[in-house]
Structure 1
Amino acid sequence: MLINGNKFEDERGIIKFNNDFEASAVKRIYTIENSSTDFIRGWQGHAIEQRWFSCIKGRFRIAVIHIDNFNNPSSDLDVKYYDLNDDTLDFLHVEAGCITAIKASEDNSKLLVLADYRLGEIKDEYRFPLDYFNIKL
Structure 2
Amino acid sequence: MDSKPKLINGNSHSDQRGILFYNNDFDASLIKRIYIIENHNLEFKRGWQGHKVEQRWFSAVSGKFKIQLIKIDNWEKPSVDLEVFTYLIDSEKLNVVHVPKGYVSSIQSLELNSKLLVMADYLMGETKDEYRYDIEYFKI
How many Å separate the matches in 2 of 1:21 and 1:134? 32
How many Å separate the matches in 2 of 1:115 and 1:105? 23
How many Å separate the matches in 2 of 1:134 and 1:83? 20
* TM-score of the pair, normalised by structure 1: 0.97
| CA positional deviation for 1:71 | 1.2
| CA positional deviation for 1:68 | 2.4
Residue 111 (1) aligns with residue 119 (2): no
Partner residue, 1:66: 71
How many Å separate the matches in 1 of 2:102 and 2:73? 7
SS in 1 for 2:136: helix
Partner residue, 1:19: 24
Percent of pairs with identical residues? 54
Partner residue, 1:10: 15
* TM-score of the pair, normalised by structure 2: 0.95
How many Å separate the matches in 1 of 2:27 and 2:75? 28
How many Å separate the matches in 2 of 1:16 and 1:69? 39
Q: Give the length in aligned residue pairs.
A: 135
Gaps of 5+ in 2: 1-5
Partner residue, 1:41: 46
Gaps of 5+ in 1: none
